[in-house]
Amino acid sequence: MAVVTGAGSGIGRAIASTFARQGARVFVLERDAAAAAETVAQVTAAGGAAVAVPCDVSDAAAVTAAFTRMHADAGRLDILVNNAGIAHVGTVESTTEADLDRIYAVNVKGVFLCSQAALPRMRRNGGGVILNLASIASLIGLVDRFAYSMSKGAVLTMTRSIAVDYIKDGIRCNCICPARVHTPFVDGYLRAHYPGREQEMFEQLSTYQPIGRMGTPDEVAALALYLCSDEASFITGQAYPIDGGVLVF
């Protein structure tokens, strides 16, 4: 059984669909009930098994209730993908306290709460895998991404802490560090901030990656599938860039 947070769209939806195609029963942990239902409908239409579980990952009581429900339904937890996250544009000076708290609540506290709920269940199962969605912002500085980079740096260090603390319990923990990935969020961001210049800015964002384009959710999902599979059983505590050459050139 696999839990994917924030699986109502973009990378999370692609991961849920990819895992389901490989035979996993996927729980779609998502605050937006309509988006979760759409993901479940797509998975089931393709012959997979998925269940929508409404949950705000920044709410401790909601997370506890969701994991209790899922465990009662499935009886075990094999994989947790902490994908839910939000973005923010700004420097340290332009970021407000409210901005920082909002980013922290989802991107950091959400990973903490879901991992905290999953780990005892994985230990009782004799092992499991936690995969976190970090970012190249965990590894390099990005202009105007102060709060977002802070949060993804925390995801990277949480990944390594979980890996060393639970290796003897048969639990692996890794994270993926994507560069820009073309998701509905990107399209919405361009419409909101660059009306009439969407295509120009899309090309600018795309060419930031030396390979000349953004990644796709399915490409990230393919890496997620590998890292959560038995074929990756010798890998833990690692950060995997999927960045179109950003870190090389």
Strand partners, 130: 80, 173
> Is position 226 annotated as part of the catalytic site?
no
The answer to pTM > 0.85 is yes
Instruction: For domain 2-178+216-239, give its CATH number from 3.30.1490.20, 3.40.50.670, 3.30.70.1090, 3.40.50.720.
Output: 3.40.50.720
28 with 51: CB under 8 angstroms?
yes
Q: What is the pLDDT of residue 42?
A: 98
Least Cα distance to 217 among 43, 9, 32 occurs for 9
* pLDDT of the residue at 79: 98
**Do the Cβ atoms of 211 and 181 come closer than 8 Å?**
no
For 14, 60, 92, 111, 115, the CA distances from 122, given in Å and listed in that order, are: 24, 19, 38, 16, 10
Determine what percent of the chain falls in helix, strand and coil, rounding each to the nearest 5. 50, 15, 30
Please report, for residues 134, 156, 160, 196, 241, the alpha-carbon distance to residue 231 in angstroms, rounded to integers and kept in the order given: 22, 22, 20, 46, 19
Q: Residue 196's pLDDT is what?
A: 95
Q: What is the DSSP letter of 90?
A: B
State the catalytic residue, choosing from 148, 189, 194, 208.
148
Kindly list the distances between the CA atom of residue 74 and the CA atoms of 2, 3, 16, 79, 204, in Å, as whole numbers in the listed order: 10, 11, 16, 12, 45
pLDDT given at position 142:
95
Q: What are the tokens at 80? A: 């947790």
Report the alpha-carbon distance of residue 94 to residue 113 in Å, rounded. 28
Report the pLDDT value the prediction gives residue 245, as an integer from 0 to 100.
Answer: 97
Cα(70)–Cα(27) distance, integer angstroms: 8
pLDDT at 138: 97
pLDDT truncated to tens, each residue of the chain (249 aa)?
A: 999 999 999 999 999 999 999 999 999 999 999 999 999 999 999 999 999 999 999 999 999 999 999 999 999 999 999 999 999 999 999 999 999 999 999 999 999 999 999 999 999 999 999 999 999 999 999 999 999 999 999 999 999 999 999 999 999 999 999 999 999 989 998 998 899 999 999 999 999 999 999 999 999 999 999 999 999 999 999 999 999 999 998
What is the Cα–Cα distance from 129 to 7, expressed in whole angstroms? 17
Closest to 132 (Cα-Cα) out of 227, 42, 46, 9 = 227
**Cβ(131)–Cβ(81) below 8 Å:** yes
For tokens 């499991």, the residue is 128
Q: How far apart are CA 236 and CA 130, in angstroms?
A: 10
Assign residue 130 a region (left: φ > 0; alpha: ψ between -120 and 50; beta: otherwise): beta
